[in-house]
Amino acid sequence: MAAPEDPHRRRVGLLYDERMCRHATPDGEIHPENPDRIRAIWQKLESEGIPLRCVVLSAKEAEDKYIASVHTARHIKLIKNISSKKFNSQRLRIASEFNSIYFNKGSSEASYLAAGSVMEVSEKVAKGDLDSAIAIVRPPGHHAESDEAMGFCLFNNVAIAANFLLNERPELGIRKILIVDWDVHHGNGTQNMFYNDPRVLFFSVHRFDFGMFYPASGDGSYCMIGEGPGAGYNINVPWEQGQCGDADYVAVWDHVLLPVAESYDPDIILISAGFDAAVDDPLGGCCITPYGYSLMLKKLMGFAQGKIVMALEGGYNLKSIADSVLACAKVLLEEKPLVGSIKAQPLESTWRVIQEVRHELKTFWPALSVELPQKVLVSNWRPCSVELNLSSSSESIVENDGGASVTICATNFVEIIEPLSKLNIDEDNHGKAITLDHIATDKSPVVLSEECPNAQALMPDKNVDGCTRWRSVLSKTEVWYGSYGSNMWKPGFLCYIKGGKVEGMNEPCPGSQDKSSPKGVIWKTVPHQLFFARSLTRTWGKGGVAFLHPESNKNDKAYMCMYRITLEQFNDVLLQENSLHQENGKSQGAGAPLLDLSDIGVVAENKSLPLEALKVLMLRD
Ligand code: Q9C
Ligand code: ZN
């Protein structure tokens, strides 16, 4: 029995098609981007009776001529043919040539369906046949570049749909499109496709982690604001770490996205709706609740006469994505006022990021030029926690990575590394080899003053080859580097700083980019026995790490040699000890520091450290 037609009732399109489940890993390997994602969403919606209240649509394949508006002929040919028999033996190899991509027999069809489906619902919403729509599609799209599959994405579904409306359906009157990309990852592909185009305002909020989070390039920086006629029409909100949740996203909506949307006045909004910033997502590390998503969506419904299309992107916790999409569907159906509340305040870094973004874009969007009230900034935030995660492994300290390690989050980079410079060597300390000296008699205080007042210094230099400025930040902090083993022999160690080779080395070292001599050398006795272990963290690499021996007693002693060097030099020592400079070629460490912020974060949190946590004691393999 069909429900009686209510003229006030919202017409919401809902698209799902089982054929998009045929794209899967070739040999059934476990993968986060798997067919169960869209099945779980659909089952949840069905169990809540949502499809009965929506206009249910099935998928349509996109035509090549429309895909060609954003993808090269070569890329289209690849995706068209990749599932055919003649590629059976080559599929694995071809997939391996891309970044985070798999292909199987169902990939071609699913890709064409995903793109065609987003086009289909977008056209219907643009026309007014539907008020809004949700396309539950896969593979996702926003990482796909014009000539490259990437990050689980084959065709850029949302970009294809946007171009279709603008170029192929002018009679529908869609001249300005706002794309809101709330997937936890930066929508690099979409950004690039519209970088010069003011008809599309691309807004992406994503984890950036100073360029360390996938896709780990400078593209997601707030400095990327668009080019030529597109200048000002590309907005990135790059989180400095995980842990962002409802409060952080709502703050960005209220202080960046909504003021801009208001003045841009889009004709339709396309949402690259990944749900991998949801609480409990295995990849995202953020914590948006279904209520948070519903608020974010609700706040957008005031624009473009409510013409909103949601296209699924990422999201890898089946329950989280199903609950989140359900919450969004209810918002589009406008059944009841939202119920829920925001539990926390935004992170301190959220306000900083918001201010940076507003500052960057204020010449294009006057609504962003007013300073945020001091009252908001000083009182309305919560601290970011650095969790210590003591491994419960029953294995020895050697296997469990040295005991203490940090799970994820590091706060403001500068706040973390600055205290490192004040770590003093404390002779009388038992079990804490290195402590933070709070007294201002520090012999060589280091300073991150004028030149780098805040984390901004870590953002990519605009106009330069994409190389980030982390080096300039690291170069301003000096630390005591404790060496044990072969690095205690100064001529050998100096090769890592100044370059060159001593007896026993197979090849000459390139040296650090900063070749200045250590500012100090101190021999030190630690009241412990040390022993060597291997460590597998990214920071410490395969070079040996010395740890306190768990059975050592107070009478034990070990000698070590401390060098006063900068964090940049320390980073370069690590690179060379682990022979990573060879793999990195000429751009020695250009992309990202080898130092792991999380590891360093332990210092900021604890002020003084047991040796096994700091792990500064390196030894050549
Ligand atoms: N070390 C989407 O959410 N991670 N794509 C690869 C490699 C890839 C996410 C990590 C994450 C892709 C649509
Ligand atoms: Zn994602």
Domain positions in the chain: 12-367, 471-524+562-579+591-616
Binding site membership of 100 for ligand 1 (Cβ less than 6 Å)? yes
In terms of Cβ atoms closer than 10 Å to its own Cβ (0-12, 13-18, 19+), residue 9 is middle
d(CA 22, CA 154): 14
pLDDT at 424: 52
d(CA 407, CA 261): 36
Active-site residue, 430 included: no
Give the position, in ligand 1's atom list, of the atom nearest the Cα of 313: 13
Binding site membership of 276 for ligand 1 (Cβ less than 6 Å)? yes
Q: What is the pLDDT of residues 594-616, one digit of tens each?
A: 665 555 555 445 444 433 333 33
Binding site membership of 185 for ligand 1 (Cβ less than 6 Å)? yes
- Does the reported pTM lie above 0.95? no
Three-state secondary structure along 535-557? CCCCCCCCCEEEEECCCCCCCCC
Token output for 296: 């974010």
Residue 277 Cα, ligand 1 centroid: separation in angstroms? 13
Binding site membership of 274 for ligand 1 (Cβ less than 6 Å)? yes
What is the full DSSP assignment across 163-207? HIIIII-GGGT---EEEEE-SSS--HHHHHHTTT-TTEEEEEEEE
Give the position, in ligand 1's atom list, of the atom nearest the Cα of 276: 3
Answer with the residue of higher pLDDT: 125 or 381.
125
Instruction: Given the residues 71, 143, 255, 581, select the one marked as catalytic.
Output: 143
Q: What is the pLDDT of residues 175-216, one digit of tens each?
A: 999 999 999 999 999 999 999 999 999 999 999 887 778 998
CATH architecture of structural domain 12-367: 3-Layer(aba) Sandwich (3.40)
From atom 13 of ligand 1, which residue's Cα is the shortest distance away? 314
| pLDDT, mean of residues 509-518 | 91
Token output for 78: 């690849």
- Chain-centroid distance, C-alpha 446: 30
- High-pLDDT (> 70) share of the chain, %: 72
pLDDT at 390: 24
**Mean pLDDT in the chain?**
79
Min mean pLDDT across 166-180, 224-238, 474-488 is at 474-488
From atom 12 of ligand 1, which residue's Cα is the shortest distance away? 151
- 3-class secondary-structure state, position 223: coil
Residue 29 Cα, ligand 1 centroid: separation in angstroms? 16
Binding site membership of 141 for ligand 1 (Cβ less than 6 Å)? no
Ligand 1, residues 118, 152, 186: which to mutate, most atoms within 8 A of Cβ? Answer: 152
Residue 13: closest CA among 91, 93, 120? 120
pLDDT at 581: 66
Q: What is the pLDDT of residues 365-402, one digit of tens each?
A: 999 999 998 888 878 887 665 432 222 221 122 222 22
Binding site membership of 284 for ligand 1 (Cβ less than 6 Å)? no
d(CA 498, CA 513): 9
Give alpha helix (H) positions in 447-566: 470-474, 490-498
Q: How far is CA 130 from each of CA 16, 58, 115, rounded to the nearest angstrom?
A: 16, 15, 19
In terms of Cβ atoms closer than 10 Å to its own Cβ (0-12, 13-18, 19+), residue 234 is buried
Binding site membership of 138 for ligand 1 (Cβ less than 6 Å)? no
Ligand 1, residues 101, 111, 142, 143: which to mutate, most atoms within 8 A of Cβ? Answer: 143
CA atoms within 13 A on the CB side of 131: 17
The residues, ordered by sequence, that sit 6+ positions from 318 with a Cβ below 8 Å of its Cβ are 36, 37, 40
pLDDT at 552: 60
Q: Cβ(424)–Cβ(442) under 8 Å? A: yes
Answer with the residue of higher pLDDT: 263 or 608.
263
